[in-house]
Chain A
Amino acid sequence: MKGTGDPPPKRTAREETKMDKQKKALSFRDGIRDALPICLGYLSVSFAFGMIASDRGMPAWIAALFAVTCVSGTGQFVGLNLLADSAPLFEMFCTLAVINARYLLMSVSLSQKLPEKTNLWQRLVIAYGNTDEIFALASTSSAALTFPYMLGMILISVLGWTAGTVFGEAAGGVIPSSVVSAVNIALYAMYIALIVPDARRSLPVTAVVLFAAALSCLLTFLPPDSLGSGWVIIIAGLAASAFGAALFPRGAGEEEEP
Chain B
Amino acid sequence: MTTGFMLLGIAVMSGVTWAIRMIPLAVVRKKFKNRYFLSLLYYLPYGVLSAMIFPAVFSSCGSIPASSAGAGVALILSFFRAKLIVVAAAAVITAWMVGMMIG
Is A bound to B?
A: yes
Closest to A110 in B: B25
**Is the Cβ of A216 less than 8 Å from the Cβ of B43?**
no
Knowing A116-B30, A209-B50, A240-B50 are in contact, say whether A100-B5 is a contact too (CB < 8 A): no
Please report whether the interface of chain B is mostly helix, strand, loop or mixed according to DSSP: helix
Does A123 contact B25, Cβ atoms closer than 8 Å? yes
- Residues in B neighbouring A187, C-beta threshold 8 A: 88
Dominant secondary structure at the A interface: helix
Contact (Cβ within 8 A) B17 A72: yes
By the criterion CB–CB under 8 Å, are A185 and B60 in contact? yes
A83 touches B5 (CB 8 A): yes
Contacts of A196 in B (CB 8 A): 75, 78-79
State whether B13 touches A75 (Cβ < 8 A): yes
How far apart are B38's CB and chain A's nearest CB, in angstroms?
Answer: 7
**In A125-184, which residues have CB < 8 Å from any B CB?**
126-128, 130, 132, 135-136, 139-140, 178-179, 181-184
**Complex contact B35–A252 (CB within 8 A):** yes
Interface residues of B in 27-69 (CB under 8 A from A): 28-32, 35-57, 60-63, 66-67
- Find chain A residues with CB under 8 A from B29 CB: 111, 116
| A101: B residues at CB distance < 8 A | 20
Q: How far is the CB of B59 from chain A (nearest CB, A)?
A: 9
* CB proximity of A242 to chain B, nearest CB, Å: 6
Query: Which residues of the partner chain B approach A58 to less than 8 Å between Cβ atoms?
Result: 1, 6
Which chain B residue shows the least CB distance to A235?
B51
**Cβ–Cβ contact B10 & A79, under 8 A:** yes
- A212-234: which have CB < 8 Å to B? 212-213, 215-217, 220-221, 229, 232-233
Given contacts A89-B9, A111-B28, contact A190 B88 (CB under 8 A): yes
- In the assembled complex, which residues on chain A have CB atoms less than 8 Å from the CB atom of B89? 186
Show 12 A/B contacts (Cβ-Cβ < 8 Å), sorted by A.
A37-B83, A89-B8, A100-B20, A107-B22, A108-B24, A127-B21, A127-B22, A184-B61, A189-B87, A209-B47, A236-B47, A245-B39
**Chain B interface residues toward A at CB < 8 A:** 1, 3, 5-14, 16-18, 20-26, 28-32, 35-57, 60-63, 66-67, 70-71, 74-75, 77-79, 81-85, 87-93, 95-96, 99-100
The 10 residue pairs across chains A and B that have the minimum distance between CB atoms: A182-B96, A237-B48, A189-B91, A240-B47, A245-B39, A107-B24, A69-B14, A127-B22, A236-B51, A244-B43
